[in-house]
């Protein structure tokens, strides 16, 4: 299943940015800024962006985080990371790195990061991978660090909502649906406090969890 999804994203990497731009226009840029602002990303932050894809969140963060901070984007699709790497060249940030890995097995030292982010990807993980990933997030965060997870809210339009649930079911477990409805009980198993904030548009939700 994981290998199939990785190949799917390798293929999708050729169109990913164009499709997101068509779908959301500048809303996704606003959402990324909202995520970074709420997680408190600043100059010296050590930030880890999971399921970074073509690097949308990590590249936006590179505009705020200075050379004494650190930004790492992790993804298991080589295709997506190649796109991210290409886009990063023009920024020339000296402490922005990409790691090819499964997010449930992070090749990173414990208690390293102030902030871990994951945008529009946690709900895709199968339940064992999601649990492993939450454990890894807790492990690599410094005490008092923040995990910020951005997801779509349930669409209001009945047809789009049907497509949304079909997509969730395609990930292979009904539990993905209950996770997407309310992530808080899952996050509370690992984090001391969890809060849910709606994005200004009301179409996305940000889960903020403290280690």
Ligand X SMILES: C[S@@+](CC[C@H](N)C(=O)[O-])C[C@H]1O[C@@H](n2cnc3c(N)ncnc32)[C@H](O)[C@@H]1O
**Contacting positions for ligand X (CB under 6 A):** 5, 9, 51-53, 56-57, 75-77, 80, 102-103, 119-121, 124-125, 129
Q: How far is the CB of 79 from ligand X (least distance, A)?
A: 8
Which H or E run contains 119? strand 113-119
Find the residue with minimal CB distance to ligand X.
53
User: Least Å distance between CB 201 and ligand X?
Assistant: 15
How far is it, in rounded angstroms, from Cα 131 to Cα 123?
A: 12
- Output 51 or 141, the one with its CB closest to ligand X: 51
Query: Least CB distance from residue 208 to ligand X, whole Å?
Result: 17
- Distance, in Å, from the CA atom of 176 to the CA atom of 180, rounded to the nearest integer, reads 6
d(CA 210, CA 193): 5
- Chain-centroid distance, C-alpha 30: 15
Nearer to ligand X among residue 29 and residue 193 (C-beta):
29
Q: State the minimum distance, in angstroms, from the CB of residue 143 to ligand X.
A: 25
DSSP state of 10: H
Task: Look at phi and psi of residue 51 and say left if phi exceeds 0, alpha if psi is from -120 to 50, else beta.
Answer: left
76 or 147: CB nearest ligand X: 76
* Structure tokens, 141: 């965060």
Comparing CB distances to ligand X, the nearer of 52 and 176 is 52
Paired strand residues for 75: 100
Instruction: Let me know: does 154 contact 183? Beta carbons within 8 Å.
Output: no
Strand order across the beta sheet in which 193-198 lies: 96-100, 70-75, 46-50, 113-119, 141-152, 204-210, 193-198
Task: Select 167 or 188, whichever has its Cβ closest to ligand X.
Answer: 167
Q: How far is the CB of 102 from ligand X (least distance, A)?
A: 4
Q: How far is the CB of 106 from ligand X (least distance, A)?
A: 9
């Amino acid at each position: 299943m994981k290998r199939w999804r990785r190949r799917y994203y390798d293929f999708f990497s050729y169109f990913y940015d164009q499709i997101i731009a068509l779908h959301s226009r500048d809303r996704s840029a606003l959402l990324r800024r909202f995520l970074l602002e709420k997680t408190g990303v600043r100059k010296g932050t050590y930030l880890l962006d999971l399921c970074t894809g073509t690097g949308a969140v990590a590249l936006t963060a590179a505009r705020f985080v200075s050379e004494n901070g650190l930004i790492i984007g992790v993804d298991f699709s080589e295709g997506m990371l190649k796109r991210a790497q290409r886009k990063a060249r023009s920024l020339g940030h000296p402490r922005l790195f990409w790691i090819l890995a499964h997010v449930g097995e992070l090749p990173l030292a414990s208690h390293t990061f102030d902030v871990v982010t994951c945008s529009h990807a946690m709900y895709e993980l199968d339940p064992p991978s999601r649990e492993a990933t939450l454990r890894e997030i807790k492990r690599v965060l410094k005490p008092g660090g923040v995990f910020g997870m951005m997801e779509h809210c349930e669409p209001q339009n009945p047809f789009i909502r049907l497509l949304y649930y079909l997509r969730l079911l395609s990930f292979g477990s009904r539990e993905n649906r209950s996770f997407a409805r309310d992530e808080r009980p899952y996050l509370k198993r690992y984090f001391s406090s969890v809060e849910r904030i709606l994005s200004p548009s009301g179409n996305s939700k940000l889960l903020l969890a403290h280690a």
